[in-house]
Structure formats: C-alpha cells, structure tokens
Amino acid sequence: MSGPLAGIRVIELARILAGPWAGQTLADLGAEVIKVEAPEGDDTRRWGPPFIDRGDTQEAAYFHATNRGKASVTADFRTPEGQQKTRELVAGADVLIENFKVGGLAKYGLDYASLSALNPGLIYCSITGFGQTGPYAHRAGYDYIIQGMSGLMSVTGPAEGMPHKVGVAVTDIITGIYASTAILAALHERTRTGLGQHIDLALMDSAVAIMANQAMNYLATGTAPTRLGNFHPNLAPYQVVPCCDGHIIIATGNDAQYQRLCNLLGLEALAEHPDYQNNAKRVSRGTELSDLICEKTQNWAKDALLTACESQGVPAGPINDMAEVFADPQVIARGLELDMQGMKGVRSPFNFSAHPDLQHSPAPKLGADD
C-alpha cells in the first residue's frame, strides 16, 4: 500500500456501513485493512439489486460502495479456531474497528480488555448506535431511527406534511468519518505514550454533533427549529428557485451578492429596499422575498440563469441527478469516478501533494485472503 498511512494495519470486525466506512477511509489513506467476515460474509454483499458481477462472484453495489481497498478473511467467532485466527491478526495490528452490540465480543474474548492485554498498543474503536454507556446503550442503532432521534428529520423536508430523511445513510457515514478522525488522533497520541486506547463512537452522538447551526439556533433561543423545505434558517435568499425548464439553487451569503441578484433579475428597487437591506431583515421576510424572486426566475431557462449568476458573482448551482454528476466537467477534472481493474467506483476526496496518486483497489471477494 502507498499513502500517508502506509505501514498501519487495521483489523475490521465490522459490517453494514459505519464501521466499514471508517475502514475504507483508512484504506484510502494507505493503511492495510483486513476485513474479518463471518463465513457467510458482510450482510451488504447481498443488499441488492443492483449487483456487481465479477464472473465467479456477485456482490451488491452497496457492498462495493464501502469496502474498497481491503483484504478479506473469514472467521467464525463462535469457534475456538475463529477466535484464535482473529487474535493472531490483532497481535500484529495497530487498529481494530468493530460495530457489535455493547459487550457482544466479550464472550468470544475479542473485547477491548482481552485484546489490549494481548496488544497494549492497539487502538480499539467501537461503533454502536448509542455508545457504550447510557440508558439506550443496549439498543441496536439504525441510521433511519437515529436521523429521527437526533433532530435531523425535524429540520428536513417541506414545512407541511411528514418529516423526511436524508437520501443517504448520513449518520452512518459521518460516524465512520468521525471514527477515522478519532483513530488518527489516537495513533498520534500513541507515538508519545506507546499505548493504545478504547474509542467509543455512537451514531446518536455523531448525528447530534453535526446539527451545527440548527443546534446552536435552539441553544441560543430555546426555540426548536422547524422544517423549512428548501429555505435556510439563517440566510435569505438561499433556496431552490423555479425556472421555465426545472429548478436551480441560488445561495446568496451577503448583502452584495443579494444586490447583484436583484439587479440581474430586473429587481433594482428591491436591491436597496429598506425592508431587505440586510440579511436579518431578509430572513424575517423570507417568504415574501422568495415570491418576488421566483416570479422573475420562472421566466428564465436554467442554463441561462446559471450563466448570468456566474457572470455577476452570484452563487448558484444546478440540481443534478447522479448521471449529471458524473458528466459534470468539475467531477471529471477531479477524477472522482474510478476505474479499478475494470470496476467503477468513487474516488476518496483526499488530495496530498506528497501522494498525488493514491492507490484504490476494488472491494475484496469473500475470503480472498484466507
């Protein structure tokens, strides 16, 4: 392997998404990641259609989205042989990632206390729905449920009707990213102490943490934010607008951008109107301002309005489907679509001057490295 983490060995006792996403992130950075799977494999190998056909094997595209760059070995933790095989792997490892229920690995002798005695330098990262402590620690964690419990769905979707989830399992993914960040911090600390440690990551914690301005809006006012559809709670105009052939996004972040938008739409009187002269006033009159702007934008074609916005320094962008994403000149220029030994994938977003050609390989076949 090449990359900033070359020489780091990671044992992944994880399946589905959050744990494997952390493992894939470390693999993308050059770590050797050995995925230890039950004899039947990670559940997501069967989460299709669609499936990726590799001649002698067929796995779901979902599995390939989160297991790039790893090796695969099989071990049945219920057997002494499987437990011993795993311990032998851990003995020479730097990091272990697991997402079993709290206490689920202790009966196999694969918990932190047991494995840190074997390998005192081990960074042991546990990922669960609700963490190792608290009244919900025993519960299974599912992204959809966490999106609801964390407040994310309370601010997602139209103002009327039912709340909406985000279109990908975002709390799983962000927990995987937080996990990889925590692992890197623990590895850095190990250079000073020589000792590993246990990292406790929870989907619920991560989901609450990413509520960002929405959480602070509540803490600052005591009023829970509500769903605003495609409007922004702190900026205006910052929204989807209609065009004669679809919709685009316009996202003004300051007074000057707002004024330029008004001028290009022929709303010069609105640019300096005292009711909208600063962001706070625009937010307080967001609906009426939106109506005035949308009345103008609906007469424009999407491409023409996007071109006009770019020429005038007004932040705007299209609403792409995935086909349009991978045909976008910027996505093409950044090389985000991978071709890994004839298999397509999505490149990690890392770009290092010292490692301009990070290596990526396809997700492993089950037990390929036994």
For residues 247 and 240, what is the distance between their CA atoms, to the nearest angstrom?
7
First to last CA, the chain: 19
Active site residue 172: yes
- Vertex 211 angle, CA 205 and 217, to 5°: 130
Q: Exposed (0-12), middle (13-18) or buried (19+): which is 172, by Cβ within 10 Å? A: buried
Q: Which of 73, 93, 86 is nearest to 8 (CA)?
A: 93
* Residue 167 DSSP code: S
For residues 332 and 322, what is the distance between their CA atoms, to the nearest angstrom?
13
Q: Give the bridge partners for 12, in sequence order.
A: 35, 97
Among the listed residues 28, 172, 245, 357, the single catalytic one is: 172
Q: What is the dihedral of CA 145, 148, 150, 151, to 10 degrees?
A: 170
Instruction: List active site positions.
Output: 172
